[in-house]
């Protein structure tokens, strides 16, 4: 076993979009597990938009990462030392390892993985993003056959599963994605009924026209991953009694993007159209995770669900991959494979 | 019976706050009821904020009033001619009479009133505003004992009942109202735990500080009657898993009031705080009206519920009373007593 481990620390709090200088690669002595703890050698790390919120001082959904603290995140890896009866050396596990080559994790925070599925599925389609899509659509989207769903960031790990679940439930599904390549993915790989390239539409009005053409009966569920231009485009297309699960507002991580006050129109639309707008964060819903795994694991194993991963190489490249992901530079679930 | 009736017509569509020229007082021959219809002599007419939406061309919650059409509204009155077996001359009834001295109403759109209660209660505390408060609080506010509720327009017919129902359910209740007189009413007559005069607070920040001082545990339910400055003040005070039933956005009937884009912050708060924001319109909920009447009629009859009416005199003064109400000039449920 190496005597040193590596980790990515929060070097300073970003303003808007993070930059490489906000992160620092550090070495530290290899930690030893205490009683009831397990030492994991991380093989794959998940990068997710929620981590941007954790870099802020406060006010986001969960505890901030401390300055010089290790960036939070889920990883998969092998147990290399265990002081808990439930885990043995060599077990394939997942848990909140952080952005690090190794991590000591309490046994109750780890889950053994089924060796028959690719281990990265535990970070994507069967991990937090997949569970987010499944929970949010069921609890806050409340899909009904014959309705229309629109989702932005549609080729991302959440959006792509939202689309597939909605389609399977009998909805018309409209993808909004950035660039022709992602639109092709949305249609061909993820089975959306239509895909719209928001980059090809200058301004919210042009985007709205493009979406309207593919949603002739209006939109019943707008799955909110982005905010920004897409929200502005979609809002007038919402049907009465529509639902908007708010899962992310990635377009606004860097601050506001508009000049006029869009709040009155949106707020009034919520009233006039009797919309149900619900913010949700998957960390509140872990009770339902076993039911999700029970339903979705066989569907993934059977190849009924498509998913896509974008794998960066090496812990040292995690910050660049993360920054790129926040501006849509990834294609599919962003993962870092550790050396 | 007079041979002529009088009505208030929509003379033109207002831009922002209506002005007297948007209305016209007209005379017309007295209508005669057809089979299954009833002719009502209106004694009291209800004025409600939703009527402003009906004056617009489209896009609001319900059918617009046509140009030269009679302004919509609920009235109470006496049956003076009936061609339906369910109603007799002299019956005290309520229904959608419009802003008019007389109206022919289909029998199935009328309800007989209990002579033992003041007839105007059918327009306020036991009418649409009361039913709005009761339904919205139960279905979208979902109050729990020990929580804190804030409501703007707190001495209005909806807000004052929301406060009393929440208080009875064990919540701390914070009123936001315009002017010292209304604040006194909120505390003394309607039993709010605290009352804040938004007119005494310059800007949303000052209002926020005043509210925060009276809501030391944060706000779990913000009953949205207004939008505007109150919303901006309240949003940062919302607790995780808070609920915002949107019942009205009267501050924005005249258009936006801000310069910067407040949408990103609000939208992100909905996510980060996992808020549930639901627009609702009482016209979707009439199924529940009998249950409301059954529960609330005895409470009103027993004097357990306070209500307040602001009565203007004469149909010809309905437009001025309506305009005044839209800017908070009334105190209590606005009613017009017909000559």
How does residue B269 score in pLDDT terms, banded at 50, 70 and 90?
very high
| Whether residues B314 and B247 fall in one domain | no
How does residue B178 score in pLDDT terms, banded at 50, 70 and 90?
very high
Of A252, A259, A267, the CB nearest to B264: A252
**Sign (positive/negative) of CA torsion A143, A145, A149, A153?**
positive
Summarised one tens digit per residue, pLDDT across range A209-256 is 999 999 999 999 999 999 999 999 999 999 999 999 999 987 876 666
| Whether residues B119 and B136 fall in one domain | no
- Check residue B61 and give its pLDDT: 54
For residue A269, give the chain B residue with the closest CA.
B279
DSSP H stretches of helix in B123-277 = 128-136, 157-168, 180-188, 203-214, 228-234, 263-272
Of A248, A261, A272, the CB nearest to B279: A272
- Quick check: A69 pLDDT over 70? yes
Q: In a mutagenesis test of the B interface, which of A61, A224, A264 is the best target, namely the one with the most B β-carbons within 10 Å?
A: A264
| Whether residues B143 and B118 fall in one domain | no
**Cα separation of A324 and A310, whole Å?**
11
Domain membership of residue B290 (yes or no) is no
Q: What is the CATH number of the domain that holds B78?
A: 3.90.180.10
Summarised one tens digit per residue, pLDDT across range B233-250 is 999 999 999 999 999 987
How does residue B256 score in pLDDT terms, banded at 50, 70 and 90?
low
Domain membership of residue A289 (yes or no) is no
CA distance to partner chain B, nearest, from residue A33 (Å): 34
Q: What is the CATH number of the domain that holds A141?
A: 3.40.50.720
Mean pLDDT (whole number) for B10-22: 95
Of B246, B258, B281, the CB nearest to A261: B258
Domain membership of residue B294 (yes or no) is no
Instruction: Please count the structural domains in chain B.
Output: 2
Structure token digits, residue B71: 């302004």
| Whether residues B243 and B139 fall in one domain | yes
- Quick check: B339 pLDDT over 80? no
Q: How far is CA A86 from CA A107, A286, B9, in A?
A: 7, 21, 78
- Check residue B62 and give its pLDDT: 64
| Whether residues B66 and B93 fall in one domain | yes
- Check residue B59 and give its pLDDT: 57
Contact B99, B70 (CB under 8 A): yes
Structure token digits, residue B289: 């009206």
| Whether residues A80 and A99 fall in one domain | yes
Which residues 253-292 of A have a C-beta within 8 angstroms of B? 255-281, 284
ipTM: 0.88
- Check residue A128 and give its pLDDT: 93
Domain membership of residue B298 (yes or no) is no
Summarised one tens digit per residue, pLDDT across range B42-73 is 999 999 988 998 998 865 556 799 999 999 99
| Whether residues A118 and A222 fall in one domain | no
| Whether residues A240 and A152 fall in one domain | yes
- Check residue A254 and give its pLDDT: 64
Domain membership of residue A292 (yes or no) is no
| Whether residues A184 and A44 fall in one domain | no
Domain membership of residue B333 (yes or no) is yes
Mean pLDDT (whole number) for B226-230: 92
From chain B, the residues in CB contact with A269 under 8 A are 279
| Whether residues B105 and B150 fall in one domain | no
| Whether residues B143 and B229 fall in one domain | yes
Q: How many cross-chain Cβ pairs, A to B, lie less than 8 Å apart?
A: 135
* Domain of residue B114, residue span: 4-124+308-337
| Whether residues A99 and A172 fall in one domain | no
Domain membership of residue A233 (yes or no) is yes
Of A224, A264, A275, the CB nearest to B252: A264
**Cα separation of B42 and B19, whole Å?**
24
Domain membership of residue B48 (yes or no) is yes
Summarised one tens digit per residue, pLDDT across range A8-37 is 999 999 988 999 999 999 999 999 999 999
């Amino acid at each position: 076993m190496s005597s040193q481990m590596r980790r990515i620390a929060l070097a300073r709090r970003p303003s808007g979009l993070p930059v490489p200088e906000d992160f620092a690669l550090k070495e530290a002595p290899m930690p030893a597990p205490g009683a009831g703890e397990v030492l994991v050698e991380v093989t794959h790390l998940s990068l997710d938009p929620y981590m941007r919120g954790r870099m802020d001082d406060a006010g986001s959904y969960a505890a901030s990462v401390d300055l010089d603290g290790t960036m939070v995140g889920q990883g998969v890896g092998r147990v290399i030392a265990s002081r808990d009866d439930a885990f043995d050396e060599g077990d394939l596990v997942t848990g909140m390892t952080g952005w690090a080559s190794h991590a000591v994790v309490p046994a109750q925070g780890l889950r053994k993985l089924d060796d028959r599925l690719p281990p990265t599925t535990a970070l994507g389609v069967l991990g937090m993003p997949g569970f987010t899509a499944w929970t949010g659509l069921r609890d806050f989207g409340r899909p009904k056959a014959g309705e229309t769903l629109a989702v932005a960031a549609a080729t991302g790990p959440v959006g792509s599963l939202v689309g597939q679940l909605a389609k399977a439930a009998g909805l018309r599904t409209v993808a909004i994605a950035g660039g022709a390549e992602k639109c092709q993915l949305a249609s061909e790989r993820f089975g959306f009924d239509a895909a719209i390239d928001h980059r090809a539409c200058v301004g919210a009005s042009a985007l709205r026209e493009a979406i309207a053409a593919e949603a002739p009966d209006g939109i019943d569920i707008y799955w909110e991953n982005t905010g920004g231009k897409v929200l502005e485009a979609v809002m007038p297309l919402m049907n009465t009694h529509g639902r908007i699960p708010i899962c992310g507002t990635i377009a606004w991580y860097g601050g506001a993007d508009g000049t006029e006050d869009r709040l009155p129109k949106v707020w009034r639309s919520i009233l006039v159209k009797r919309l149900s707008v619900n913010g949700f964060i998957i960390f509140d819903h872990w009770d339902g995770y076993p039911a999700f795994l029970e339903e979705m694991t066989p569907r993934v194993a059977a190849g009924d669900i498509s998913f896509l991963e974008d794998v960066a190489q090496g812990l040292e490249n995690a910050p660049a991959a993360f920054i790129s992901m926040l501006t849509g530079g990834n294609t599919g679930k962003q993962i870092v494979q550790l050396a």
